[in-house]
Amino acid sequence: MGIVNVTPDSFAGGLTDPAAALDAAIRMEAEGADLIEIGGESTRPNADLVPADEEIARVVPVVRAAAGRLRVPISVDTRKADVARAALDAGASIVNDVSGLDHDRAMAQVVAERGAALVLMHSRGDPKTMNDRAVYENLLSEITAELKASMAAATHAGVPIDRIILDPGIGFAKRASHSYGVLARLPELLAALERPLLVGPSRKSFLRGAAGDRLAVDRDWATAAAVTTAVLAGVHIVRVHAVAEMVQVVRTAEEIRKHG
10-residue averages of pLDDT along the chain (260 residues): 86 74 97 97 83 96 97 98 98 98 96 98 92 96 98 98 98 97 98 98 95 93 98 98 98 96
Q: Which residue range(s) make up the domain with 185?
A: 2-258
List 80, 239, 251, 258, catalytic entry: 239
Kindly tell me the burial class for residue 68, based on how many C-beta atoms sit within 10 Å of its own C-beta (0-12, 13-18, 19 or more). Answer: exposed
- Contact yes or no for 161/199 (Cβ under 8 A): no
CATH number, domain of 78, equals 3.20.20.20
Cα separation, 189 vs 143, in Å, equals 9
**Sign of dihedral through CA atoms 32, 35, 41, 45?**
negative
203 is catalytic: no
148 is catalytic: no
Domain count along the chain: 1
**Sign of dihedral through CA atoms 28, 29, 33, 38?**
positive
List 85, 203, 204, 219, catalytic entry: 204
> Distance of alpha carbon 80 from its chain centroid, rounded?
15
- Contact yes or no for 94/74 (Cβ under 8 A): yes
